[in-house]
Structure 1
Amino acid sequence: MLPVISDPESLTPVSATASTGSADETGRAFDLLADRRRRAVLEYLDDTDEPVSLNELADHVALEEQGWARGAIAGCGDALLGTRRRVRISLRHHHVPKLAAADVVEFDLEANTVSVRETGADLLARLETTTE
């Protein structure tokens, strides 16, 4: 027969509950940075000083995924049109809202623009220090 414990939380060490908060924060950071599109969004926004339209952001991400430079969009024309549309839809409905919910970016629905917040810049700095 097992003994009955009236308060199981009393058996949890204090250090375990204190470290759970930082572990959760690290887990959320890794979840946000796990996707290459979200990383590309944060890196692009971190390099700009003003809000960026979702279309411009989708163009950048689509070109980066193809390995092309910014000026190459005129050269590829309609071949990239479907890809840009799919990227824009995924950014609009999945990636940018997820970043906005984590207070990493500011997403203005009316203007359809995105800008990085200070927490987003901090998250990128953490990523850069871990990859070096």
Structure 2
Amino acid sequence: MSGDSIEFDTVLDLCRDQHRRIVLAVLAEERRTLTVNDLSKVILKYNHQTPVTAASEAVLAEIRLALSHEHIPRLASAGVVEYDPERQHVVPTERFDQLQPSLFAIVDADPDLQRPVEL
């Protein structure tokens, strides 16, 4: 699957949700394995404009649940990440590199995000 090019409509679909845009942007910046907990904190920072210390456990749990059951599985089914649900690890794949030029254009167009999106 890594040899197949990603269709532009697929890239747009993956970037439709801001949580997925944040996940993809931070993976592009970090270029390493991240945990669902790491990604939850980044979403809290960029999407909710809330420091982790000020967030309730319920909000963090809701973000982790959405990532684990909706957003990360969608990215994994597109082949751009590998997801280990037991260890809660998310790893960018070789196919991930194919979406980066379009991803950066989309993130740059999002008025609520500024690159680099960092942990």
Flag whether TM exceeds 0.5 (same fold): yes
User: TM class by shorter-chain length?
Assistant: 0.7 to 0.9
Q: Which residue among 92, 98, 103 is the counterpart of 1:122? A: 98
Q: 1:127 Cα deviation (Å)?
A: 2.7
RMSD in angstroms over aligned alpha carbons? Answer: 2.2
Distance of 1:109 and 1:119 partners within structure 2 = 20
| Deviation per residue, 1:8-42 (Å, 9 max, x gap) | xxxxxxxxxxxxxx9x9222111111111111001
Counterpart for residue 40 of structure 1: 22
Counterpart for residue 89 of structure 1: 65
| Percent identical | 29
Greater length-normalized contact order (CA 8 Å, ≥ 6 residues apart): 2
**Amino acid paired to 2:79:** D
* Residues 53/127 of structure 1: CA separation in 2 closer, same or farther (3 Å cut): closer
Gaps of at least 5 residues in structure 2 are 110-119
Q: Considering only CA atoms, is the larger Rg found in Structure 1 or Structure 2?
A: 1
Is 2:26 the counterpart of 1:26?
no
Q: 1:117 Cα deviation (Å)?
A: 1.7
| Deviation per residue, 1:45-88 (Å, 9 max, x gap) | 122243111111111112211224xxx322x1xx4322111110
Q: Please give the TM-score of this superposition, normalised by the length of structure 2.
A: 0.74
What SS does structure 2 have at the residue aligned with 1:114?
strand
The answer to which structure has the higher helix fraction is 1
What SS does structure 2 have at the residue aligned with 1:118?
coil
Q: Please give the TM-score of this superposition, normalised by the length of structure 1.
A: 0.68
Counterpart for residue 4 of structure 1: none
The number of residues matched between the two structures is 104
